[in-house]
């Protein structure tokens, strides 16, 4: 089968923040990068909240000013009922600045546009036929006779981890948290509310946050605790997962949720996706330039240690809520997680 094109790096399927950050770094290093984005029927994101730390990686990408101008909502207050008396936290006293309540569709589109302007190539495809390593080069067959060769592969496929599973990685899972979302249009007759609300319940926890032109409401619980009529419509979606070990061929790595996914309670998912995507891009660029795999090993070690610290912090956060010790959702989270 003829090879249609050859690239230094192939970012598999993923056109999310982590894959785009890695691609941006590699393009800036002078590498030819093809980002493959699977053609699927996308459901609209209700919204997402970033901590003020998001400014760091967005500034590195040269996207901070555009992000501020995009109309996302800066949030200066979070009201919380979790493990004790209700309290309010004011972002004016946070060194990283306010929370950002983001229209995720707009955020992804703007980031994609910025990386495209940097010189990355994009291609949409429907099915990944095969991935094989031949004479030190990856051959990726996309169907309809389309084949791409690449020196290095990046799995940026999110929680599906399409490439990681195909290449034999073992996935660690720690829970089956799912989010049930609703997007509510803003009532123009009332004053705009920019506070975020977060509350624990016997069966999980929920939050409400402002987004441009409305609010997003999300309830987090375990898949088996959802009402039966909803459970039938849910796909298995383990929120806390990580790629634990690479088996077989090297020459690839995972970024973003494909590497490690997080409980939204931590608020770090977006920042870590971008920051680790940049780190992965630097590691791959160094490998391609020198042939030394040490930066890749250090990237994987960094992700492992970072995730272990995250799990310890998450265990502590859930342990603060003791009002329903026998409720299944909380009982599961009060037991230590094996690190």
- What pLDDT is recorded for position 232? 58
> Which position has the token pair 């990856």?
138
- Decide: 199 and 206 in contact? Cβ < 8 Å: yes
- What pLDDT is recorded for position 70? 94
- What pLDDT is recorded for position 154? 94
- Decide: 155 and 253 in contact? Cβ < 8 Å: yes
**Domains in the chain and their CATH numbers?**
5-333 (3.50.50.60)
Torsion (CA) 155, 157, 162, 166 in degrees, nearest 10: 0
Question: With 50 as the cut, is the pLDDT of residue 236 above it?
Answer: no
**229 or 171, which is more confident:** 171
Confidence at 127, pLDDT banded by 50, 70, 90: confident
Average pLDDT over residues 167-176: 85
Average pLDDT over residues 32-61: 84
Nearest to 48 by CA among 205, 173, 183: 183
- What pLDDT is recorded for position 248? 41
Look over the chain and give the mean of its residue pLDDT values, rounded to a whole number.
Answer: 86
Tell me the C-alpha distance between 180 and 220, whole Å. 7
- What pLDDT is recorded for position 3? 52
Instruction: Evaluate if pTM is beyond 0.85.
Output: yes
| H helix intervals, 29-125 | 55-60, 64-69, 104-118
Instruction: Summarize pLDDT for 261-294 with one digit per residue, the tens.
Output: 989 988 888 999 999 999 999 999 999 999 999 9
- What pLDDT is recorded for position 237? 46
Token reading at 266: 């931590």
- What pLDDT is recorded for position 234? 56
- Decide: 79 and 88 in contact? Cβ < 8 Å: yes
Confidence at 189, pLDDT banded by 50, 70, 90: low
């Amino acid at each position: 089968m003829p090879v249609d094109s050859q690239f230094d790096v192939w970012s598999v399927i993923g056109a999310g923040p982590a894959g785009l950050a890695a691609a941006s770094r590699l393009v800036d290093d002078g590498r030819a990068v093809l980002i493959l984005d699977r053609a699927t029927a996308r459901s609209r994101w209700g919204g997402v909240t970033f901590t003020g730390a998001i400014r760091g990686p967005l500034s590195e990408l040269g996207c901070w000013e555009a992000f501020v101008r995009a109309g996302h909502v800066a949030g200066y207050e979070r009201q919380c009922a979790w493990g004790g008396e209700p309290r309010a936290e004011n972002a004016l006293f946070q060194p990283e600045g306010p929370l950002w309540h983001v229209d995720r569709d707009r955020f992804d589109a703007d980031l994609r546009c910025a990386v495209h302007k940097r010189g990355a190539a994009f291609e949409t495809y429907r099915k990944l036929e095969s991935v094989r390593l031949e004479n030190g080069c990856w051959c990726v067959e996309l169907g309809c006779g389309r084949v791409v060769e690449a020196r290095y592969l990046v799995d940026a496929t999110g929680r599906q981890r399409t490439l990681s599973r195909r290449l034999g990685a073992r996935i660690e899972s720690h829970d089956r948290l799912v989010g049930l979302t609703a997007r509510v249009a803003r009532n123009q007759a009332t004053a705009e509310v920019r506070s975020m609300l977060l509350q624990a319940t016997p069966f999980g926890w929920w939050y409400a946050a402002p987004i441009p032109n409305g609010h997003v409401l999300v309830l987090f619980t375990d898949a088996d605790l959802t009402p039966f009529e909803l459970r039938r419509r849910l796909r298995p979606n383990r929120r806390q997962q990580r790629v634990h070990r690479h088996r077989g061929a090297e020459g690839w790595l995972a970024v973003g949720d494909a590497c490690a996914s997080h409980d939204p309670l931590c608020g770090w998912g977006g920042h870590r996706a971008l920051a680790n995507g940049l780190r992965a891009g630097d590691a791959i660029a160094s490998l391609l330039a020198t042939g030394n795999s040490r930066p890749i090993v250090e990237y994987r070690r960094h992700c492992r240690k970072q995730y272990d610290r995250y799990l310890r912090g998450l265990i502590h956060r859930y342990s603060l809520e003791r009002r329903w010790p026998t409720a299944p959702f909380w009982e599961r989270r009060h037991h230590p997680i094996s690190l």
